[in-house]
Structure 1
């Protein structure tokens, strides 16, 4: 490729032609009756002044009698011969490449460097093979996620989306089209926990002592589940069965077992278990989960409201876990994620209702560190990533630290939406997860502007750089950075602010 020719293209009136030859841009090559489209991955200047580019082939389109391209499709069936002329891709070519097919899709923004070509996400390929939204803090990630979910909700108002919101950001964005849950109205039944989740909540020991305590917990928990009338309806009840049981029954079983050992053995493990149970029942922070002396079988109504069955035009559940005590947040997320997956498994013989589970701050729940606490949530999210598509469960992972995600989870995401990433380790992680055809975009990831992204994978025809649409103020999450310069000019009412804050603090302290 000639340097002078490249320099001349930069002054072209067509912005797509002007960008040709840059890393991340597209070029085309003519074959008999067809055009091949490729992405520029790398470029280097040779000793003789010419430029050599490494390219990734993206797809091919038909060539009509006038030489115009049509019917673009991903993948190539043949390759150019040596000496084939490489030409710039025009805006008209891009219009053909990015023209949304008849498949269900939602438009999210404008393709760079054009002003009017729309970037679309194909709903079924994106959701059936999971997706990830990545971006450093302050890049507009939350607003972009809200935009994508709003567009999907508008396209499918009877859909089923569960969003785990660890910071309480998204309630403001979806109050018009979703159901909002927090510690005040979630009413998550404690008896929905499986045995592993019970262990994470109730056991306080480690090593050999923890194994002994777990054996005692299993024995007492099964006995408590078996005491209820609901257990009589089912043949085999296990410690994992979501059968309602009374905390008073559970407590009584522990006391009875402890009584048998008063003279014969060590009652310390039983006492530890009883003390932890008493602590949970007495602490008002856990009321949303461990409430009341009476218990009823609310599993059906809980799943119906959480999974939006039916949606009634409000297809998304925002579960704000910011008010959940930090020591059981991972257990709460584990229960919610497992409910999604288990429901999908046990409803296979019914009319299918696919569910999308979106997990913000995913690196908290699927960390690379396998020794971290909260292994129950890690296991279920990893299982959904590997097996969810078989059962109609889609996973959306949102994180600012992809390098802290467990190995393999990101690679299970068929569509990657990457905003600006400032950290070298994060960039390397995305580089490993991106398909070959998108490698030319990687160098532009640190240079992306706010609310701009690279999209690659199953959800798009070819890798694209997109500027997200502006989202209406009432649909934005409450994640905007405060303006120190302007807010520090405001004075007055500080005493009342402190008073109201302390009241809320003491009433709902975590």
Structure 2
């Protein structure tokens, strides 16, 4: 049972002042049937961002109606306005607890803003405090109407993604336009419901924006189950991403398995690619010397006119080339009388390319490369142009060789930005990076530089062209803080690691910093949402979804029957990509 606290006002308030204040500001009543005196506590201290309230309770206050609980919002009555505070710490004022009598408790709250009554009977929440509560002000359980006003998006169109944890009758809404255009992140440890939350957000985004295309980099092959009717699944067997669509640094990473290149290797590969492109353009084979210039001693770095095609970009993507021409160019370099490169290095490169070409796991690079004359079919398959009712592409990375995942991610991120920019607003592209710390790690020495650059370009410049970024990770402490700082909306789910919590603490607004204290203990499917897409920081619970709308790996779908054990030969064939 809660009782009004009985405390003397501070010295700066006289008895008459106190009586006048209490007479002018009557206790807040949720409806006429409630008792007139609903003062649950009084303000005894106040600073610029926080206040302390003292109340009196008899016995433990249990159940959903308990106002004094960490994480709840309360209001402090100022008459025509009410200051909203977040309870973040509680304590008993005495040294013990009286089971039969009244106990004084101190409640520390963080001041979030004010709810102001409007002349038309509505109320509006505004962040920041214009009038601070005087000492002795009455604190109340917040009205449902005020709680809804705190999280009201105003004139922005909102999509319902859940309910408020404090009051399940009030929807939690986000602005899809702000969520996408200013990028977003979903952070949380394993098993808290990140993937199901992401699937819900993507579903709401596709419903709200008819020209949106979503490309999911799915390292666990689980999102296809969540979009059975409006997605296309691309895996190692259905992917066609010709080797000639890759930039030089991406293709070199595939050829040399990610190890650092020595100078001769880089120059040889760049030179033979330039020759292969030149021969494809001319439609006939030429002598190596004539292709490279009048002198066999001319270095590839001197061929300035060839650099755009060698490095990729618009010029490089427009010019395919044949793997057979790479082999021929290497053979001609080996056969030159005046050796420009060591024959051992040339032969080693040829063996690498032959091995790569013959490996069935790399079939998506070479199988149809000669029959695809332009990049148009690649763009159409990956980015759903035209979409034919399926605007989500689930790119399953788990079946690809680990050596090519970084280069593929780099190529896809680069293509997403180029497509959005070239469409001039006709297409909006959302690139969702699951396990994003793999692609943009905090340690600059780790990861693949072109992937980091391609994703960072979307984060920095994508908003202007309609290229958006979604970041999902269970390890925000290992994520590049520059990338995370570009995500203006964050859904922070349960995080127990102190380093991860510190990352969130640095990103969240100072006025809601105490909210981070709840991160280790919030429940599954709960999140603390803050940033541009929400009206104010809110603790929320994502909507329930049907089993068929939840991400699940093949064979692990809810209710799926146990799959038979494959034989040894079948297992080996799968491992080889056959």
| TM-score category, normalised to shorter length | 0.7 to 0.9
Q: Partners of 2:212 and 2:258 in 1: how far apart?
A: 43
Q: Residue 249 in 1 paired to residue 325 in 2?
A: yes
What is the CA-CA distance between 1:301 and the residue it aligns to?
Answer: 2.5
Partner residue of 1:178?
231
Partner residue of 2:367?
291
- What are the residue-to-residue correspondences of 1:109-258 with 2, within 5 Å? 109-203=162-256, 210-229=262-281, 237-239=308-310, 240=312, 241-242=316-317, 243-258=319-334
What secondary structure, in the 3-state scheme, does the structure 2 residue paired with 1:334 have?
helix
RMSD between aligned residues: 3.3
Tell me which of 436, 441, 444 is aligned to 1:370: 444
Equivalent residues of 2:85, 2:109 under 8 A apart = no
Q: Partners of 2:222 and 2:518 in 1: how far apart?
A: 28
Equivalent residues of 1:42, 1:440 under 8 A apart = no
Q: Residue 62 in 1 paired to residue 110 in 2?
A: no
Equivalent residues of 1:112, 1:467 under 8 A apart = yes
Q: Partners of 2:130 and 2:555 in 1: how far apart?
A: 50
Distance 1:462 1:10, change over 3 A: farther
What secondary structure, in the 3-state scheme, does the structure 1 residue paired with 2:169 have?
coil
- The total of aligned residue pairs comes to 491
Partner residue of 2:288?
none
Distance 1:38 1:4, change over 3 A: closer
Q: Partners of 1:113 and 1:205 in 2: how far apart?
A: 50
Equivalent residues of 2:115, 2:146 under 8 A apart = no
Distance 1:56 1:194, change over 3 A: farther
Q: Residue 401 in 1 paired to residue 475 in 2?
A: yes
Equivalent residues of 1:35, 1:62 under 8 A apart = yes
What is the CA-CA distance between 1:51 and the residue it aligns to?
Answer: 3.2
Equivalent residues of 2:277, 2:320 under 8 A apart = yes
Equivalent residues of 1:23, 1:440 under 8 A apart = no
Report which stretch shifted further, 325-334 or 38-47: 38-47
Equivalent residues of 1:41, 1:56 under 8 A apart = no
Q: Partners of 1:184 and 1:481 in 2: how far apart?
A: 18
Q: Partners of 2:150 and 2:258 in 1: how far apart?
A: 59
Q: Partners of 1:261 and 1:176 in 2: how far apart?
A: 61
Between 1 and 2, higher relative CO (CA 8 Å, sep ≥ 6) is seen in 1
Q: Residue 5 in 1 paired to residue 55 in 2?
A: yes
What secondary structure, in the 3-state scheme, does the structure 1 residue paired with 2:519 have?
helix
Q: Partners of 1:231 and 1:132 in 2: how far apart?
A: 48
What secondary structure, in the 3-state scheme, does the structure 2 residue paired with 1:422 have?
coil
What is the CA-CA distance between 1:278 and the residue it aligns to?
Answer: 0.8
Q: Partners of 2:506 and 2:154 in 1: how far apart?
A: 29
Equivalent residues of 1:121, 1:459 under 8 A apart = yes
Q: Residue 385 in 1 paired to residue 459 in 2?
A: yes
Report which stretch shifted further, 30-39 or 457-466: 30-39
Partner residue of 2:570?
503
Equivalent residues of 1:23, 1:441 under 8 A apart = no
Distance 1:27 1:341, change over 3 A: same
What secondary structure, in the 3-state scheme, does the structure 2 residue paired with 1:160 have?
strand
Q: Residue 53 in 1 paired to residue 119 in 2?
A: no
Partner residue of 1:417?
491
Q: Partners of 1:9 and 1:435 in 2: how far apart?
A: 36
Tell me which of 14, 37, 45 is aligned to 2:84: 37
Name stretches of at least 5 consecutive residues in structure 1 with no aligned partner: none
Q: Deviations over 1:275-309 (max 9, x none)?
A: 21111100000001222572422412221332233
What is the CA-CA distance between 1:264 and the residue it aligns to?
Answer: 6.4
Equivalent residues of 1:244, 1:295 under 8 A apart = no
TM-score, normalisation: structure 1: 0.86
Tell me which of 495, 505, 520 is aligned to 1:431: 505
Name stretches of at least 5 consecutive residues in structure 2 with no aligned partner: 1-42, 45-52, 96-103, 285-304
Q: Residue 462 in 1 paired to residue 510 in 2?
A: no
> Looking at CA atoms only, which structure, 1 or 2, has the larger radius of gyration?
2
Partner residue of 1:315?
391
Tell me which of 355, 358, 367 is aligned to 2:429: 355
Q: Residue 332 in 1 paired to residue 408 in 2?
A: yes
TM-score, normalisation: structure 2: 0.77
What is the CA-CA distance between 1:77 and the residue it aligns to?
Answer: 6.9
